[in-house]
Amino acid sequence: MARTLNLGILAHVDAGKTSLTERLLYDTGVIDEIGSVDHGSTRTDSSALERRRGITIRSAVASFTVGTGDDAVAVNLIDTPGHPDFIAEVERALGVLDGAVLVLSAVEGVQAQTRVLMRSLQRLHIPTLLFVNKIDRAGADVGRVLAGVSRRLTPAAVAMAGTRRAGTRTAEVVPHGPRDAAFTARLAEVLAEHDDALLAAYVDGDLHAEHHHDRLRAALVAQVARAQVHPVFVGSAITGVGVGDLIAGVARLLPCAAGDPGAPVSGTVFAIDRGTASEKVAYVRLFAGTVRARDRLEHGVGGTGKVTALAVVEGSEPVRRQAVSAGQIAVLRGLADVRVGDPVGTAAPAGTASRPARLFAPPTLETVVEPAVRADAGALHAALTRLAEQDPLIGLRLDGTRREISVSLYGEVQKEVVAATLADEYGLEVSFRRSTTLCVERPNGRGEAVEVLRAAQNPFLATVGLQVQPAPAGTGVRFRLGVELGSMPSAFFTAVEESVRTTLQEGLHGWQVLDCTVTMTRSGYCARQSHAHGTFDKSMSSTARDFRQLTPLVLMSALSRAGTTVHEPVHRFHLEVPADTYGAVPPVLSRLRAVPEAPRPRDGDLVLDGILPAASVHALEQQLPGLSRGEGVFESAFDHYRPVTGRIPERPRTDDDPLHRKEYLLRVERRVRAQTVLHGTSRLA
């Protein structure tokens, strides 16, 4: 049986990633004709929307085999989006990869998204090859790109080939070999950085001879597997030159999947699609165990489902199987409640304990979605809920008072895609209000509050004490117990924690609260009470609902005492404009509250880096063509949050507003009465 390699193809938009995927499938015999991005005929960009726009929106899986017999490697190729608006798709794919190919353009070189992707690959220690594409295009300069790779991505890069006639349609690739003294010296130098024995041999001058090439090759394989060194291949996806060397490098240098087929099932859902009957189809990377048809699988938090059918991807289509084992990607049907990101099985996926909770920044824009026909509001909410199942970072926010639905997004292109998806797949015409920037709140200091059981102002059968304090940036929300775990039923602690996380979606100014630690400092409850004849008396017994409803009051009181500061998202930008147009740029950047660095000359242009509020990114993109005769190049990516200066932006609340106690209790009482009208009088009456 062939070994399995789950390979990701990643790139900045327009670097030629999807064209490379098509070439790989063609050269390995999976397809008979190469599809065209421009003509909308590629295999992995399968939706009508992807083909119309010529970009990848959803991750797609295809498969090909390299080699035969014991040397065969079955490669599951995961094509990911390149546009930064769809970075959430990339994040999910990274968690299931054994290796990656990061594609760069020989013309544009290292771009903003290239750097973001490389940093994430390095953080996860994913073995990565680089492929410099488009050597046949006018303006291709492989030497400049390699210098940019070394300076801006990684110094541990080794070019595996050179080129002839780069920048022309007759460009050729010249692979480096053991007789190439400069290549051997460079390879030895890079490998010696991570191998003391090689370093000693390198210092003694013993690694330059041709007969030491096998030793260097073995060290290269080992260090690529540890993500310490990154071989660089060159070529053209359009002409096919150099792609054969890349295919050989993938099979020879990247490590195949490991995992015990006999162990308990462990996997991760990285994509969800819909079948012809609108049923969920889950794409699951299996790290351990074997899944069979009709198996009952645990997934997510407390979810279970029976596998009604399973398949693996062969070529570009799923093929039914009776069992799928560790290392493979299983296409599962029957898990009705499964969501993207869910763990599958009883064991945690390998390596997830040390993996960062989030690799990329959250969305920084929010917009209200309105149906063209008012009566479609319910259908719109259901459709957006389905889209959020496929992309958890599309945060839905339902404002019951204003009857508005908001979604969080990465950019204006994603807004267009959501609109087109709703029209094509759900028959819903929608419009969007102007996008607003999504700010966050962070606590200023420590705050505490407590509500005690049976106190005059506490109508709930619960005691809850909470302390809020700041935590380091990027840590999110942490919930800790400052009381004994056995002091009350675990369901009550769960209710408090879930309520804490829900309540912090809207802080003192209405923005999500990040980077704080919430500690439960007091707890108390009324044990289950019953009458002499044994019937349960809920009016005298605490329930999880008591804790869910009391926690927001306590938490927001503690947060008010701590205080919060609203932070706005800030992007790092890279700007290139013709030198003779630069004079018009600084005033615009100043109006947009940018903080630029000193400009640098490059080939008749001036290059400028700096930081810019996310709220100003779209405005700069719109003004740049007029400022630069249409020749300007602008790239940006989220960098950090910074405190808002001037007027503090407020966001309308959508919850029961625990900041105002009297109104909160009235809203809760009305809801409780509605829920309990058939079961007796509410405790809050």
Question: What's the pLDDT score for residue 357?
Answer: 45
Q: Which CATH superfamily is domain 365-438 in?
A: Elongation Factor G (Translational Gtpase), domain 3 (3.30.70.870)
Question: Are the CB atoms for 663 and 657 separated by under 8 Å?
Answer: yes
Q: Of 605 and 223, which is predicted with more confidence?
A: 223
Q: What's the mean pLDDT in 432-454?
A: 93
pLDDT band of 56, cuts 50, 70, 90: very low
H/E stretch holding 61 reads: strand 60-66
Q: Is the pLDDT of residue 58 over 60?
A: no
Q: Of 646 and 410, which is predicted with more confidence?
A: 646
Could you give the percent of the chain with pLDDT greater than 90? Answer: 46
The domain limits of the chain are: 3-177+229-253, 266-354, 365-438, 441-562+655-676, 565-643
Among 149-153, 351-355, 449-453, 659-663, the minimum mean pLDDT is found in 351-355
pLDDT band of 426, cuts 50, 70, 90: confident
Question: What's the pLDDT score for residue 359?
Answer: 44
Q: How far is CA 461 from the centre of its chain?
A: 41
392 SS3 class: coil
Do 365-438 and 565-643 show the same overall fold? Answer: yes
Angle between helices 112-123 and 87-94 (to 10 degrees): 20
Distance CA 542, CA 453 (A): 10
What tens digit of pLDDT does each residue of 476-514 get? 899 999 999 889 999 999 999 999 999 999 999 999 999
What tens digit of pLDDT does each residue of 206-259 get? 655 555 778 888 999 999 999 999 999 999 999 999 999 999 999 999 999 988
Angle between helices 196-203 and 213-225 (to 10 degrees): 140
What tens digit of pLDDT does each residue of 342-357 get? 888 876 565 544 444 4
User: Which of 37-41, 70-74, 122-126, 251-255 ranks highest by mean pLDDT?
Assistant: 251-255
Angle between helices 243-253 and 213-225 (to 10 degrees): 80
Question: What's the pLDDT score for residue 39?
Answer: 47
Q: Is the pLDDT of residue 40 over 90?
A: no
Q: What's the mean pLDDT in 274-303?
A: 85
Q: Which of 641, 360, 358 is nearest to 511 (CA)?
A: 641
610 SS3 class: strand
Q: What's the mean pLDDT in 84-88?
A: 54
Q: Is the pLDDT of residue 86 over 60?
A: no
Q: What's the mean pLDDT in 529-548?
A: 71
Per CATH, the number for 565-643 is 3.30.70.240
Question: What's the pLDDT score for residue 550?
Answer: 97
What tens digit of pLDDT does each residue of 614-631 get? 889 888 988 988 998 887
What tens digit of pLDDT does each residue of 163-178 get? 999 999 999 999 998 8
Question: Are the CB atoms for 8 and 95 separated by under 8 Å?
Answer: no
Question: What's the pLDDT score for residue 175?
Answer: 94
Q: How far is CA 602 from the centre of its chain?
A: 34
Report residue 672 as tokens: 């409780």
What tens digit of pLDDT does each residue of 113-139 get? 788 788 888 888 999 999 999 999 999
Q: What's the mean pLDDT in 561-582?
A: 93
Q: Of 251 and 88, which is predicted with more confidence?
A: 251
- Is the domain 3-177+229-253 a CATH 3.40.50.300 member? yes
User: Which of 124-138, 405-419, 654-668 ranks highest by mean pLDDT?
Assistant: 124-138
**Which class would CATH give 441-562+655-676?**
alpha beta
Question: Are the CB atoms for 565 and 442 separated by under 8 Å?
Answer: yes
Q: Of 389 and 648, which is predicted with more confidence?
A: 648
CATH architecture label of 266-354: Beta Barrel (2.40)
pTM summary value: 0.65
Question: Are the CB atoms for 63 and 75 separated by under 8 Å?
Answer: yes
Question: Are the CB atoms for 173 and 163 separated by under 8 Å?
Answer: yes
Q: Is the pLDDT of residue 679 over 60?
A: no
Question: What's the pLDDT score for residue 534?
Answer: 52
Q: What's the mean pLDDT in 418-439?
A: 87
Distance CA 567, CA 548 (A): 28
Q: Which of 112, 109, 50 is nearest to 81 (CA)?
A: 50
Q: Of 206 and 54, which is predicted with more confidence?
A: 206
Question: Are the CB atoms for 60 and 78 separated by under 8 Å?
Answer: yes
DSSP of 15-51: SSHHHHHHHHHHHTTS-SS---TTTT--SSS-SHHHH
